[in-house]
Chain A
Amino acid sequence: MAKYQFRLFIAGQLGNSLTAIANIKALGSQLLRGEYTLEIIDVLERPELADRERVTVTPTLIKDAPLPVRRLIGDLSHTPRVLAGLSLSAEEQARTK
């Protein structure tokens, strides 16, 4: 089982959604060395999932594993905040360089 598990809620396949998908994929391959799973949920198609997780804004990224569960909103383009929000280890963060 992959170390990191993400769910990304997006609304449609445009603008913010595409930026967020590109950003989380880049982070996953560079810093997490591909040790992650990513489920992309389009709220226009699966609104009941947004309801269940009480997601109001898109994009919203939920990190389900490792615990604690964390939420990030926005297109994930502010990297320092993304790193802080996901609380990656020092070793993982060092891979940015």
Chain B
Amino acid sequence: MNQSPLPVEKVPSGIEGLDHITKGGLPAARSTLVAGTAGSAKTIFAAQFLAGGIAKLGETGVFVTFEEPPADIRKNMKGFGWAIEAWEAEGKWTFVDASPDPSLAAMPTGQYDLGALIARIEHAVRKTGAKRVVLDSLGSVFSQHGETALIRHELFRTASALRKMGVTSVITAERMEDYGPIARYGIEEFVADNVIILRNVLEEEKRRRTVEILKFRGTEHSKGEYPFTVTNDGLVAIPLSAIELKQRSSMLRVTSGITMLDEMCGGGFFRDSIVLISGATGTGKTLSVAHFINGAAQRREKCLLLAFEESREQLIRNATGWGMDYESMEKAGLLKVVCEYPEVKGLEDHLIAIKHQIEEFKPARIAIDSMSALERVGSLKSFREFVVGLTSFIKHQEVTGLFTSTTPTLMGGTSITEAHVSTITDSIILLRYVEIYGEMRRGLTVLKMRGSKHVKEIREFNIDETGMHIGKAFRNVSGILGGFTTQLAQSEVERIGKLFE
């Protein structure tokens, strides 16, 4: 007895990222309940399901509204670029209006059922050949007609009518709280074979939206909560752990833009790798980024720079000070500088925006200066998800990534970024201040270089008008990384003689 049931066919949900989590989309010819608290984007989910069907697959849809009048839905969804009115004119989108209207208030005088509603839905589906149906929302049916055994029975009848018609449907339902009973009236989940929960939770004073596939009868899906966000194009889910770790890692090397650093790394960075540069303020992180960009430009490779700490003018001026001309690189189409305040949007939105930038510009390299500036935008959990989501996306694109991280203390120290990023990154380079006999110098070391030999010394470097120059290793000095340098006792002559051998 090892007969597996017929695989459940799935249809694209129209929601970017969600089909990764659902492993293919929503189960075809079945009902999926989408439950969430007020403001959890249920109606957008439902409308996007129809819009996606129309725009991407040419499947017509029927929107049954029990709550907002069609005029409001048309207006509210316009912002996502869905031309509902035009689709209605072409017979691709049909409203079945069951929204409450005070002028149609009716006196109940005995037994009744939802026969007219079901007949109207069937009529709309038949007339337009619809493949997708949305019911928004079940709670409003109860608030219009009372929560009676009769209405429960009628909802079952509606759901079974949908099943008989062979349409794929999304039914929305209200929840009172983000963690509690699946839906308000406790019966909604029995109406549908599949349940998706949308949450909108306040976490460390920040709103965090997540989507969870609670139940997909007889078919596979990813478990747990995944972040999602509402963009100008509608909902976008971020399928973190659903992303398969199948990045091809190549042995191809690319230059860091600094010859000596390439040597220290055993011949440059790997092309599909993520490099983290960590250091206190002023140690030369932004300069390292500039060399990275310059190195790419000299090899006619495109680079995307996302700057979260400095303005465009500052960046260009600083680069000019090191003899690098960002403006002419941009004119040549080899560089795109995007400057933004981290606080302008949530991390999920940053992630989506960065993905779009990469897809649009198609860079061979991407630099983020700095990653730690984004730490304060979201909760720790969101930040970790952001980093994981971004790194896996970058690796899929076969792009070399350079992230910088600012340490909170001048000497030594690590940041939250390092704690979350270091295990994901392939290489880590530390930039540190080194205090020697009352003088501040700068040291650089390659802490980690996955899959390659590398120089393990801490080397001194200088910065001048042509950029960064890496010199010899510090000798007779220890404790640099910890931030407490101690010089080994020896005669002054010996010290000077041997310090930078």
Contacts and interface: CB of A to CB of B under 8 A. Distances in A.
Interface residues of B, number: 25
A51 B112 contact: no
B62 to A, nearest CB: 12
A29 interface: no
B145 interface: yes
Contacts of B118: 11
A16 B112 contact: yes
Interface stretch (B94-102, B174-182, B270-278, B469-477): B94-102
Given A56-B98, A58-B112, A75-B112, A51 B105 contact: no
A6 interface: no
Given A11-B119, A71-B107, A54 B112 contact: no
A11 B116 contact: yes
B252 interface: no
Contacts of B145: 57
B109 A48 contact: no
Contacts of B108: 72-74, 78, 81
Q: Which of B105, B112, B113, B118 has the most CB of A within 10 A?
A: B112
A75 B111 contact: yes
A32 interface: no
A47 B123 contact: yes
Contacts of A58: 112-116
B111 A47 contact: no
Contacts of B107: 70-73, 81-82, 84-85
A82 B109 CA distance: 6
Contacts of A19: 110-111
A60 B116 CA distance: 9
A73 B96 contact: no
B126 to A, nearest CB: 9
A59 B104 contact: no
B225 interface: no
Interface of A: 9-12, 15-16, 19-20, 43-44, 47-48, 50-51, 54-61, 70-78, 81-82, 84-85
Nearest to A45: B119
B330 interface: no
A35 B146 CA distance: 35
Given A73-B106, A81-B107, A84-B107, A57 B119 contact: no
B120 A57 contact: no
B110 A51 contact: no
B111 A9 contact: no
B122 interface: yes
A84 B106 CA distance: 12
B353 interface: no
A50 B120 contact: yes
B436 interface: no
B112 A57 contact: yes
Q: Which of A15, A55, A60 has the most CB of B within 10 A?
A: A55
A15 B111 CA distance: 9
Given A72-B107, A81-B107, 13 more contacts: A19-B111, A43-B115, A43-B120, A50-B116, A51-B123, A57-B114, A57-B145, A70-B107, A71-B104, A74-B109, A75-B109, A77-B110, A84-B107
A51 to B, nearest CB: 5
Name A's interface SS.
Answer: mixed
A94 to B, nearest CB: 20
Contacts of A57: 106, 112-117, 145
Contact of A77 (B104, B111, B116, B117): B111
Contact of B97 (A15, A54, A70, A78): A54
B119 A50 contact: yes
Given A81-B107, A84-B107, A85-B107, A73 B112 contact: yes
23 contacts: A9-B116, A11-B119, A15-B111, A16-B110, A16-B113, A43-B115, A44-B115, A47-B119, A47-B120, A47-B123, A51-B123, A54-B104, A56-B114, A57-B112, A57-B145, A73-B108, A73-B109, A75-B111, A77-B111, A78-B108, A81-B107, A82-B109, A84-B107
Nearest to A58: B115
A43 B116 contact: yes
Contacts of A55: 116
Contacts of B98: 54, 56
B366 to A, nearest CB: 53
Contacts of B110: 16, 19-20, 74-78
Nearest to A14: B115
A47 B109 contact: no
B122 A47 contact: yes
A97 to B, nearest CB: 20
A2 to B, nearest CB: 22
Nearest to A81: B109
Contacts of B106: 57, 60, 71-73
Nearest to B95: A51
A67 B357 CA distance: 62
A48 B123 CA distance: 8
Contacts of A70: 107
Nearest to A59: B112
B109 A77 contact: yes
A67 B1 CA distance: 70
Nearest to B117: A56
B97 A43 contact: no
